[in-house]
Amino acid sequence: MHRPPIIATLAALIALPALPALAAPQHAHDAAGTQHTLQLNAGQKWQTDAPLRANMASLRTSLQPLLPGIHADTLKPDDYRQLAATVEARVTDIVRQCRLPAAADAQLHIIVGELFAGAGAMKGTDTAHTPRDGAVQVVAAINDYARYFNDPGFKPLGH
With CA atoms as reference, report the closest residue to 141 among 14, 26, 19.
Answer: 26
The answer as to whether 62 is a domain residue is yes
What local confidence, expressed as pLDDT, does residue 159 receive?
Answer: 58
pLDDT digits (tens, 9 = 90+) for 51-106: 999 999 999 999 999 999 999 999 999 999 999 999 999 999 998 998 999 999 99
Give the per-residue pLDDT at 98: 81
Q: How many domains, in total, are found in the chain?
A: 1
Stated pTM of the model: 0.77
Q: Answer whether residue 22 is part of any domain.
A: no
At 50 the pLDDT is 94
Q: Phi, psi at residue 126, to the nearest 5°?
A: -105, 90
Residue 119 lies in a domain: yes
Say if 41 falls within a structural domain: no
Q: Would you say residue 153 lies in a domain? A: no
Average confidence (pLDDT) over 13-18: 34
User: 75 is in which domain, residue-wise?
Assistant: 3-11+46-148
